[in-house]
Amino acid sequence: MPGKGGAAGGIRTPDPIITNDVLYQLSYCGAGLRGHHSRPEWAAKVRSAAALGKPRLAARTLARPAVDCHKLKAMLSPSRPFVLIDRDGTLNVEVNYLSRPDDLALIPGAGPALARLQAAGYGVVVVTNQSGLARGYFTPADLEAVHARLGELLAAHGVRLDAIEVCPHGPDDDCDCRKPRPGMVLRAAARLGFDPGAAIVIGDKPADIGLGRAVGARTILVRTGYGAETEAAGIAHPDAPDAIVDDLPAAIELILAGGPTPEPRR
């Protein structure tokens, strides 16, 4: 059996022909993936993708020095749509630098609404700036306890988040993940294999809407948390949210009804 580098080395040119080496590479990637991406099924996917002409793209990807399994997964498997939800003020009631599990309360109706969203086949990722870590207001253990509590509250409604992405940095850290920068979404998209541009971002602050804009996602502003304030201050076109609704349940109803329709952008 060829090694990783050896097989990729055989297709340095963008030749669309799929060789056994490429198939081996793809099944090698598949072996490292979880759940239904078991190895035999993966090989079957690769063969059907070959029939559809997608391996041209796969071959190009494999011709790069490092095989990117996440990219291949996203490319070759049908992706669920994803909704990316801000935490404080959107999913749970805003508390300044929330650090104690007992202070955590879901926005009314959020649990059942998320259950409906997941039942409709959507992936759900929470994307949260937690500069309280960088500022020393609370510890990673505190944050973990809050998220464990969040998991419990959601589990009571049969909801299980696909991921919680955290930016632990402060405004002066110049990281690539503090919203509105796209790092957290790109991280989650690579790991979970979804297209950020096909996602919908829900949040209560300009940074949430900016995040959606940064990754080409549609955006919904909720009026909970700082949302009413954000709405009153206004976000100028073309950076305005695609929709403004009262709260997370209303945002989810809108999504399940096929919305929001993106604003035309130049």
Q: Kindly list the catalytic residues.
A: 86, 88
Write out the residues near Mg ion by the rule CB under 5 A.
86, 88-89, 204, 225
Q: How do beta strands 243-245 and 218-222 pair?
A: parallel
Query: How far is Cα 16 from Cα 106, in angstroms, rounded to an integer?
Result: 51
Q: Whole-number minimum distance, CB 185 to Zn ion, in Å?
A: 12
Query: How far is Cα 151 from Cα 161, in angstroms, rounded to an integer?
Result: 8
Choose the contact partner of 199 out of Mg ion, Zn ion, none; CB within 5 to 8 A by kind: none
* Backbone torsion region of residue 89, taken as left when φ is above 0, otherwise alpha when ψ lies between -120 and 50, otherwise beta: left
Q: Work out whether 49 is an interface residue with Zn ion (CB under 5 A).
A: no
Q: Whole-number minimum distance, CB 175 to Zn ion, in Å?
A: 3
Evaluate the omega torsion of the peptide bond into residue 238 and state whether it is cis, within 30 degrees of 0.
yes
Choose the contact partner of 86 out of Zn ion, Mg ion, none; CB within 5 to 8 A by kind: Mg ion
Q: Which is nearer to Mg ion, 73 or 178 (CB)?
A: 178
Q: Whole-number minimum distance, CB 148 to Mg ion, in Å?
A: 20
Q: Whole-number minimum distance, CB 126 to Zn ion, in Å?
A: 15
Choose the contact partner of 169 out of Zn ion, Mg ion, none; CB within 5 to 8 A by kind: Zn ion
Q: For residues 165-194, which are near Zn ion according to CB under 5 A?
A: 167, 169, 175, 177-178
Q: Is 57 helix (H, G, I), strand (E, B) or coil?
A: helix
Choose the contact partner of 88 out of Zn ion, Mg ion, none; CB within 5 to 8 A by kind: Mg ion
Q: How do beta strands 163-167 and 200-203 pair?
A: unpaired
Distances from the Cα of 34 to the Cα of 38, 191, 228, angstroms: 7, 11, 41
Q: Work out whether 134 is an interface residue with Zn ion (CB under 5 A).
A: no
Query: How far is Cα 129 from Cα 132, in angstroms, rounded to an integer?
Result: 9
Query: How far is Cα 46 from Cα 246, in angstroms, rounded to an integer?
Result: 44
Residue with CB nearest Mg ion? 89
Judged by CB under 5 A, which stretch of 29-37, 164-172, 199-207, 241-249 contacts Zn ion? 164-172
Q: Which residues bind Zn ion (CB under 5 A)?
A: 167, 169, 175, 177-178
